[in-house]
Amino acid sequence: MTHNKPEVIKDMTNGDIAADTYNNYKRDVEMMRELGLDAYRFSLSWARLLPDGFTNNVNEAGVTFYNNYIDEMIKYNIQPMVTLYHWDLPQKLQELGGFVNPLFTDWFEDYARLAFERFGDRVKFWITFNEPREICYEGYGAATKAPILNATAVGTYLCAKNLVIAHAKAYHAYVKDFKPNQNGQCGITISVNWFGPATDSEEDHIMAELRRQAEWGLYAEPIFSQQGGFPKELSERVAEKSAKQGYASSRMPSFTDEERDLVRGSFDFFGVNHYTAFLASAAKEHKTYYPVPSPYDDSDSSTYTPDDWPKSASGWLKLAPNSIFDAFTFLRNKYGDIDFYVTENGWSTSPTAGLIDDDRVRYYRAALNSLLDAREAGVNIKGYMAWSLMDNFEWMEGITERFGLYEVDFEDPARSRTPRKSAFVYKHIIKNRYIDSDYKPESLTMTIDDGL
Ligand SMILES: C[C@H]1O[C@@H](Oc2ccc([N+](=O)[O-])cc2)[C@H](O)[C@@H](O)[C@H]1O
């Protein structure tokens, strides 16, 4: 997509080299050691391992790269947490329909098996998919991410069904054929921002619940709920609306009993990418543009964020009060006492903001305080991953938004990395297991501390 339609990327950059971990992986592991990390989450590129998407053609150079990268982490006691799919589908599979082809579920299982076989002796944390909402709604529904298909809610719901089945097939393959020897865990990562009611009215509470179902319940409910399947109230609304709109059957597909049972309970942990919060209401003045029909249009809800919440460099990301606490206590009450990992959480600055990123420092302190509140309330959050170690190619925004604890110089062919102030504060928090709101680094010179 970035080659054929470069104009869809804000600054016309692409991911060919990006931050170039391929050539800098030793430096990246050195940065993990500088910070004192004991785990690091990264993704495998399906196309790097299987250029045509299928297992008949394995790119051994890609396997070697990941082996070296994983070995370098293990050497320094850093646990790799590996995502199988973080949005880069082999082009040939896209040409066959990608996620909306029901055979996708088998293609994904085959790819997952290859990854378990090649890397599972050292990788003990597997995540099947990163963020189903962004894959299905943004990719197949709203045309705001690859493959930029505007197939509205029909595409979103079809993708959602195939995605959770693909996840479940990979999960069961792991449990049956790999876990007995490899002793790892397998889960999925869903983006769960908090959606609370704009007012205390009954209507706004209903809207907030419908919005949660449309944003992430669509993907979480089939896997984590007791009953399985898509969220009840949203499904009923879509069926009703589809009939009124003249569709012969609901735009939202249903699960057979066998599919429902396959997907329900297919997890060892729930990975959550959490960034912010929104307020939901029925008020039409808040209504932003959604392609119609879309899950949001189907939910009849609209959302907004208060003007006084601090803004990042990304339009969708503001610092919302205590949103980790609200999201995780809700998830625990809904899905029970399961293991959670925060697999992403972070803040963006502009490319010219430089190394003194006090707004990122403020965000991490607030987020981690909120996480501690959730743990104190009994939520089983077993791990936390900041997004991100370093600046990256940020999808449709190219390199115009920077999320790194380390700045990457994209003008430099070597892509040199330099720690920001937030890296020093983050390191201090991890080392002391304490969020010191007065801590100021004496200098911005980074070292690897003994024992880290
Ligand atoms: C910054 C990281 O965000 C993750 O994706 C998103 C995208 C949009 C929202 N949202 O609330 O609107 C949340 C998370 C993604 O996984 C990662 O690659 C980065 O892009």
Decide if 189 is inside a domain.
yes
Note the pLDDT tens digit of each residue in 16-31.
Answer: 999 999 999 999 999 9
CA–CA separation, 290 and 432 (whole Å): 45
Best of 81, 135, 304, 316 for a ligand 1 pocket test (most atoms within 8 Å of beta carbon) = 316
Burial of residue 176, with CB atoms counted within 10 A of its CB: 0-12 exposed, 13-18 middle, 19 or more buried:
exposed
Decide if 172 is inside a domain.
yes
Using the mean position of ligand 1's atoms as its centre, give its distance from the Cα of residue 202 in Å. 30
Question: Is pLDDT at 300 greater than 60 in this prediction?
Answer: yes
User: 163, 99 in Cβ contact below 8 A?
Assistant: yes
Percent of the chain surpassing pLDDT 70: 98
Using the mean position of ligand 1's atoms as its centre, give its distance from the Cα of residue 257 in Å. 33
Best of 191, 290, 312 for a ligand 1 pocket test (most atoms within 8 Å of beta carbon) = 191
Q: How many CA atoms lie within 13 A of 440 on its CB side?
A: 4
Decide if 383 is inside a domain.
yes
Question: Is pLDDT at 77 greater than 90 in this prediction?
Answer: yes
Decide if 436 is inside a domain.
no
The atom of ligand 1 lying closest to the CA of 314 is 1
Q: Which residues line ligand 1 (CB under 6 A)?
A: 130-131, 134, 191, 193, 273, 275, 316, 344, 387, 394-395, 403
Average pLDDT, the chain: 96
User: 281: closest CA among 219, 210, 343, 347?
Assistant: 210
The atom of ligand 1 lying closest to the CA of 131 is 16
Q: Given 344, 394, 401, 407, which residue is catalytic? A: 344
Paired tokens of 219: 């993907």
Q: Given 131, 138, 394, 401, which residue is catalytic? A: 131
- ipTM score here? 0.98
At residue 151, the pLDDT reads 78
Q: How many domains does the chain have?
A: 1
131 a catalytic residue = yes
Decide if 448 is inside a domain.
no
Question: Is pLDDT at 269 greater than 60 in this prediction?
Answer: yes
Note the pLDDT tens digit of each residue in 397-433.
Answer: 999 999 999 999 999 999 999 999 999 999 999 999 9
Decide if 447 is inside a domain.
no
Decide if 444 is inside a domain.
no
Domain of residue 290, residue span: 6-431
CATH code: domain of residue 407? 3.20.20.80
User: 398: closest CA among 434, 355, 351?
Assistant: 351
Note the pLDDT tens digit of each residue in 436-447.
Answer: 999 999 988 999
Task: Tell me the mean pLDDT in the region 158-176.
Answer: 98
